């Protein structure tokens, strides 16, 4: 029993240290909550576990704390489902931000080149090139129009490339977050397995102790019976000493 407990001390201590390190996001949530935030946190803690909430606050430090708590509560304290939903929400926010930035850049490009709308599809770009070339009155003007067309097309490609790179980076971040979540989940599963094994060993020890108690009770009863018989025999000998 002592070897088993000693072997379990180190992972248990590491788990307690990890739990202590994850307490800081919850403390920050309590400190920075708006008016009535303490009541909100109290209600949230009744629905979610502090360890799962700390993990999500660590994985999503830039997201509103109340949003994280609400999503975790809606997911039934399921950290994997909450990570998936929070990742989708952050990806949607990033896409909206990128679209807004791209729209601003396109508008700036349109303003710098006149009132012509910037093409968005392959067919529109082809039509734009035909229009530019058809409107040229001579070779020099055609070259100028071609140069302006290629410049606009290059800006469009760079903007689209930047958008795709941003999405790739977000997907990589989501992949890293999911890997960390899986590691945390595996750690919890391992700890739960160790705890279940410990409980099983304690149960077996209890059964052994109960069996030993029953054996000792039977031995005690047998010894008491023999002692009673021996005492009765000695009394008979003292009561009739002259028979022999």
Cα(58)–Cα(22) distance, rounded to whole angstroms?
8
**pLDDT reading at 157 higher than 50:** yes
- What percent of the chain clears pLDDT 90, i.e. is strictly above it? 12
**pLDDT reading at 35 higher than 80:** no
Rounded to two decimals, the pTM is: 0.38
Of 22-31, 71-80, 158-167, 234-243, minimum mean pLDDT range: 22-31
How far is CA 103 from its chain centroid?
A: 34
Roughly how many angstroms between the first and final C-alpha of the chain, as a whole number? Answer: 60
Highest averaged pLDDT of the listed ranges 82-91, 184-193, 229-238: 184-193
pLDDT at position 103, please? 58
pLDDT at position 197, please? 92
**pLDDT reading at 242 higher than 80:** no
pLDDT at position 129, please? 86
Cα(121)–Cα(141) distance, rounded to whole angstroms?
25
Banded model confidence at residue 44, pLDDT cuts 50, 70, 90: low
Contact in structure between 133 and 142 (CB atoms under 8 Å):
yes
pLDDT at position 142, please? 86
pLDDT single digits (tens) 90-141: 777 766 666 666 555 555 554 554 445 677 788 888 888 888 888 888 888 8
- Rg from Cα positions in the chain: 39
Cα(191)–Cα(183) distance, rounded to whole angstroms?
12
Residue in this structure with the two tokens 């599809």, named with its chain if needed? 121
Cα(143)–Cα(85) distance, rounded to whole angstroms?
52
- What percent of the chain clears pLDDT 70, i.e. is strictly above it? 66
């Amino acid at each position: 029993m002592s070897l088993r407990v000693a072997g379990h001390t180190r992972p248990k201590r590491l788990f307690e240290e990890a739990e202590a390190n994850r307490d800081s996001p919850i403390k920050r949530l309590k400190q920075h909550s708006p008016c009535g935030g303490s009541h909100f946190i109290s209600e949230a803690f009744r629905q979610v576990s502090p360890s799962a909430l700390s993990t999500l606050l660590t994985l999503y430090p830039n997201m509103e704390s109340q949003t994280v708590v609400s999503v975790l509560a809606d997911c039934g304290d399921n950290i994997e489902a909450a990570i998936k939903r929070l990742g989708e929400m952050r990806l949607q926010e990033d896409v909206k931000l990128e679209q807004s930035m791209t729209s601003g850049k396109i508008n700036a490009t349109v303003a710098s080149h006149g009132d012509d709308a910037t093409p968005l599809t392959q067919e529109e770009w082809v039509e734009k090139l035909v229009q530019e070339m058809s409107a040229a009155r001579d070779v020099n003007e055609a070259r100028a129009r071609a140069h302006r067309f290629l410049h606009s097309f290059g800006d469009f490609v760079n903007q689209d490339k930047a958008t795709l790179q941003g999405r790739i980076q977000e997907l990589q971040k989501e992949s890293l977050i999911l890997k960390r979540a899986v590691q945390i989940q595996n750690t919890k599963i391992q700890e739960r397995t160790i705890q279940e094994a410990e409980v099983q060993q304690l149960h077996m020890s209890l059964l052994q102790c109960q069996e030993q108690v029953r054996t000792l009770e039977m031995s005690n009863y047998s010894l008491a019976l023999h002692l009673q018989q021996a005492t009765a025999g000695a009394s008979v000998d003292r009561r009739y000493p002259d028979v022999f």
